[in-house]
Amino acid sequence: METLEDIEIIEPQTKNMFAKVNSCGLIGVQAYPVEIEVDISGGLPNFILVGLPDTAINESRERVKAAIKSSGLEFPNKKIIVNLAPADTKKAGPTYDLPIAIGLLAGNEIINSTNLSNLYIIGELGLSGIVRPVNGVLSFIILAKNKNAKGVLLPKENIQEASLIEGIDLFPISSLSESIYTINNIKTIEPYRKKPLNEIQNKNNYSNLDFCDVKGQALAKRAFEISASGQHHILMIGPPGSGKSMLAQRLSTILPPLTYDEQIDVTQIYSACGKLNKEKSLILNRPFRAPHHNTSTAGLIGGGPIPQPGEISLAHHGVLFLDELTEFQKQVLDSLRQALELKEITISRSRKSCTFPCNFTLISACNPCPCGYLGDPIKKCICNIKSIKKYLGKISGPILDRIDLQVEVKRLTENELLTKYQTESSKEIKERIIKAREIQLLRYKKYKNSTIQSNANLTSKEVNYFCTIDKGAESILKDAIKTFALTGRSYDRVLKVSRTIADLGSSDIIKDEHILEALQFRLNTFVNI
């Protein structure tokens, strides 16, 4: 009987060369580690990419081959297998060009492979060997830092964005030749050091919009002040030309400034989408997004074969303005339910699901009827009851339930149009709002490991705990439940708005006047649709 000792071991005629390079991929706006394994062996010349690459990655074979030759190096005329691990996750984009080329050169012993240990590499290659910038760099750097990487080799044009994250060495390069030199001499090269944060912040652009430009509309302005103080959603209803869009565009001017963590969150989303301004690596101002009413569900909440963030995520920590709300498709509006409630949206595909953050303030506006002049004192409405109900019925009950403030924006009077007197400026209103936000943060900071940032984020349990009302307000609420057809959710939202109004008045207890003012922003227009 033949044993293992009797079996003749045939030595391979050629030596297999192997290398491994660390890189990153994106799922939504979050990065995940990708190991690029390169095997160079004998046999017929072939270049095989495995690990669920998309078209852009498959095309990288030609870019890598041309870049290596353009850099004055010989491309190995052998069988090459490149594996992108984990193999069960779809890979997309040209981010892997540079690490694949580095892996090939390391396998061919042109690059010192020992220096690749725990070094992360990202970048797109041009045919001439230049290294082009890629999207999602901020997410990649955060991942590399969390993995305790010794450094990141990245395109030079991405360095300002990458340098926002402290505590990790960055090696910016502009060509494949430069990357070879950097890796082989990494111990003698000084990594890029971040500029002080205050130098970046001084580049802020201030908006020329101001609330003092808005004539009249005292009730609507008060609604916007309450909204900004507690992060409450608003629905404006009124005739064309009454100032709805003008009010919405100025909400950003009275919102509290972004914290540094919020700036990083917003910048990370825009970086992943490729919408980051290359001259300004850090987004300092709250986003304002105003998609057209023809926007699809995928355009609004995100989607695609490889899910990308939609408008609601691009409005994270900022404002989403939906003008002509009733012109949006009903299914598009209803897709907002989860986002308005949970402050995040999950998009599932066959292989993976992505969760995008979307903690935004919704500002919506519509006309009171198809012609726009229902209840107008000057222009007569030509719509019948049936068409009005159908028009307003496009806004479903569940969506209305999630909108805290509903305010009527009426036509300006003759005196309001002719007046030259300027009302309160955005700066004055903002001072009150910042004070109210500080009251909320101090209150919720004391509540067992709470992450609550504003009154609008309170759960039903937290509403009962924090929204203490006096006895007189209870009877008002009982009447309001019938008058305004309040559901459990809308009842909680009335209390949240009342809590914000009390904070603006520096009151610990919710009083009658706070409840009455909150109920003032529940329009009877929608109760019996």
Contact status, residue 307 vs residue 28, Cβ threshold 8 Å: yes
Q: What is the pLDDT of residue 195?
A: 57
Ranges 18-22, 25-29, 133-137, 348-352: which has the least confidence: 348-352
Residue 289's pLDDT band (boundaries 50, 70, 90)? very high
Residue 336 DSSP label: T
Summarize pLDDT for 384-403 with one digit per residue, the tens: 999 999 998 889 888 988 99
From CA 296, how far away is CA 298, in angstroms rounded? Answer: 5
pLDDT at residue 205 above 60?
no
What residues does 18 pair with on adjacent strands?
Answer: 39
Mean per-residue pLDDT of the chain: 88
From CA 321, how far away is CA 308, in angstroms rounded? Answer: 20
Distance of alpha carbon 256 from the chain centroid = 18
- Is the preceding omega at residue 368 within 30 degrees of 0, hence cis? no
Q: Which domains does the chain have, with CATH numbers?
A: 17-188 (3.30.230.10), 211-526 (3.40.50.300)
Residue 407: CA atoms inside 13 Å, Cβ hemisphere, count?
27
Residue linked to tokens 């492979």: 113
Q: What is the pLDDT of residue 9?
A: 45
Three-state secondary structure of 434-499: HHHHHHHHHHHHCCCCCCCCCHHHCCHHHHHHHCCECHHHHHHHHHHHHHCCCCHHHHHHHHHHHH
Contact status, residue 214 vs residue 251, Cβ threshold 8 Å: no
Summarize pLDDT for 451-507 with one digit per residue, the tens: 788 999 998 888 888 888 888 788 888 888 888 888 888 889 999 999 999 999 999
pLDDT at residue 65 above 80?
yes
Residues 6+ apart with CB under 8 A from 404: 227, 230, 232, 233, 234, 456, 493, 496, 497, 521
pLDDT at residue 1 above 50?
no
129: tokens are: 């060997």
Q: Which amino acid is at 343?
A: K
- Rounded to two decimals, what is the model's pTM? 0.87
Residue 199's pLDDT band (boundaries 50, 70, 90)? very low
**Of all residues in the chain, what percent are helix, strand and coil, respectively (each to 5)?**
40, 15, 40
Residue linked to tokens 């964005």: 161
From CA 133, how far away is CA 287, in angstroms rounded? Answer: 24
From CA 60, how far away is CA 37, in angstroms rounded? Answer: 15
Q: What is the pLDDT of residue 308?
A: 87
Residue 526's pLDDT band (boundaries 50, 70, 90)? low
Summarize pLDDT for 261-275 with one digit per residue, the tens: 999 999 999 999 888
Summarize pLDDT for 104-137 with one digit per residue, the tens: 999 988 999 899 999 999 999 999 999 999 999 9
**Degrees to nearest 5, angle at CA 283 with 282 and 284:** 105
445: tokens are: 């900071």
357 closest CA partner among 318, 312, 393: 312
350, 460, 470 from 120: Cα distances, Å = 29, 45, 59
56, 91, 347, 431 from 302: Cα distances, Å = 21, 19, 8, 35
Contact status, residue 505 vs residue 413, Cβ threshold 8 Å: no
Residue linked to tokens 């992360």: 120
From CA 157, how far away is CA 132, in angstroms rounded? Answer: 7
Q: Which residue has the higher pLDDT, 97 or 6?
A: 97
Contact status, residue 405 vs residue 228, Cβ threshold 8 Å: no
Residue linked to tokens 């963030």: 309
Quickly list DSSP for 238-271. Answer: --TTSSHHHHHHTGGGTSPPPPHHHHHHHHHHHH
Residue 71's pLDDT band (boundaries 50, 70, 90)? very high
Q: Which residue has the higher pLDDT, 7 or 32?
A: 32
Mean pLDDT of 47-54: 91
Quickly list DSSP for 356-368. Answer: EE---EEEEEE-S
